[in-house]
Amino acid sequence: MVSTQKRWLYIAMPIFFFWFFGQIDKLGISIVQTDPGFLNDLGLTGSSANAKIGFLTFIFMVAYAVSNVFWGFVIDKLGARKTALLGVAVWTATMVMAGMANSYEMFMWSRIILGIGEGMMIPVSGKFIASWFNRNEIGRAQASWITGNYLGPAIGAVFLTLIISTLTWHASFFFLALCNLLINIPMFLFLTRNKPEEHPGVSKEELAHIRKTESFDKSVTKQNFAQDFRFWIVWFGMVMASFLFFGISIWLPTYLVQAKNFDVESMTGITSLSWMFALGFVLICGFLSDKTKRPSLLATILFILCATFLTVASTTSIPIIAGLCLGLAMGTMGGVFHLSNLFIVKYSTKETAGRAAGLMGFTNIFGGLASYVMGWMRDLSGGDFGPSIILMILVAGLGFIAYLFTLKKEAEEVNLLNKELERQGLTDYSA
């Protein structure tokens, strides 16, 4: 068995660490921006400081989303392995650049270049998984990057807080550069290859297992995803989810410290727990989606839960409840992200999945916009988070309303499937 499971070591493990450290590089700014030394060194004080802080994430997300197009051509030319190595090298350089920054402008350029470097994460991961795993393993293979996606910030929040408190904010970026240099780059260099046929460690039995579903995949035909109105509802839902997820995740540590007077240790604990909430919702939604075959219904429920948690956070006078509710609201959007990945597969083909994923990836810009808008609203309201939270409640409501239009057709599809199962004498989807 071990000799036919090497793909999990050669591909799944590098992808896990790829996302683990990539997400810390991307979202560690939420921890760093709570440090008074960082704010003073970069001149992030005064009446417009919060908008400038939010703009750092916005400009990163713009670079991240736009660069997806560029990286698609690079992957076709160089392959996933060399593209990953090139991208991680860019990350490493930007971490060093950020650690050496002595002005807001220099730090901003480091975030722009980091966004360009990280734009290849989804295409690279998708290319590796499509090449190395058969159709029946795609869900488990995707779990490798989804787990790293949420565990990275959860654990990273603790380490970054520790480094900043014992050394300086500069050291946190040098630490991340070192992790990329010593872990990510060697893994892609020594473990991965573009295709299993090129890897000397892959046996003939494992290669046959990887390729055995290709003939079935080619026989399946689907309509163009752009012709299914539900794809565009999912796209709109992703816009709302991105706005909510990144708006909360970027500002949560600042909210806990400045609005609720949490100490650094408590702030770190709730921030880390919030990312674990997101991972929990991902796992729960994956299980329930397979069981019920109702992902649209699940997404509708998640938006309602998000609005509920945000409402409680905005009305409660108990700081710990407010912090936990914001973390749970963020977690629900992690579940929506996971369901959206399932929708990409459902509404597209192998030939169109890249374009469908690219359109979904573009919604990250709205996550960056949320960070800027929330900072701008804080400046207008004298540092109050109240108006920003009310805005997010409205956004969650829009996501809920959009998904309502998918429920009827989804229910009809499930009823048809139930009838077919009954006709065959089966009573369970997993049969």
pLDDT digits (tens, 9 = 90+) for 305-364: 999 999 999 999 999 999 999 999 999 999 898 888 777 666 666 556 656 666 777 787
CA-to-CA distance for 245 and 366, rounded, in angstroms?
10
Q: With a threshold of 0.85, does the pTM exceed it?
A: no
Q: Return the half-sphere exposure (C-beta side, CA atoms, 13 A cut-off) of residue 66.
A: 12
CA-to-CA distance for 322 and 123, rounded, in angstroms?
37
pLDDT digits (tens, 9 = 90+) for 203-243: 888 788 877 755 545 544 455 666 677 788 888 998 999 99
pLDDT digits (tens, 9 = 90+) for 116-168: 999 888 888 878 887 888 767 776 777 778 888 889 999 999 999 999 999 99
* Chain mean pLDDT for the chain: 85
The answer to whether residues 174 and 66 touch, using CB atoms and an 8 Å cutoff, is: no
Sequence letter at residue 6: K
Q: Is the pLDDT of residue 427 over 70?
A: no
DSSP 8-class letter at 197: G
pLDDT band at 431, cuts 50/70/90?
Answer: very low
Average pLDDT rounded to a whole number, residues 22-36? 90
CA-to-CA distance for 274 and 306, rounded, in angstroms?
13
pLDDT digits (tens, 9 = 90+) for 56-90: 989 998 898 888 777 877 887 888 899 999 999 99
> E strand or H helix at 366, and its extent?
helix 364-380
Token readout for 84 is: 């990953």
Q: What is the 3-state secondary structure (H, E, C) of the chain?
A: CHHHCHHHHHHHHHHHHHHHHHHHHHHCHHHHCCCHHHHHHCCCCCCCHHHHHHHHHHHHHHHHHHHHHHHHHHHHHHCHHHHHHHHHHHHHHHHHHHHHCCCHHHHHHHHHHHHHHHCCHHHHHHHHHHHHCCHHHHHHHHHHHHHHHHHHHHHHHHHHHHHHHHCCHHHHHHHHHHHHHHHHHHHHHHCCCCCHHHCCCCCHHHHHHHHCCHHHHHHCCCCCHHHCHHHHHHHHHHHHHHHHHHHHHHHHHHHHHHHCCCCHHHHHHHHHHHHHHHHHHHHHHHHHHHHHCCHHHHHHHHHHHHHHHHHHHHHCCCHHHHHHHHHHHHHHHHHHHHHHHHHHHHHCCCCCHHHHHHHHHCCHHHHHHHHHHHHHHHHHCCCCCHHHHHHHHHHHHHHHHHHHCCHHHHHHHHHHHHHHHHHCCCCCCCC
CA-to-CA distance for 55 and 378, rounded, in angstroms?
13
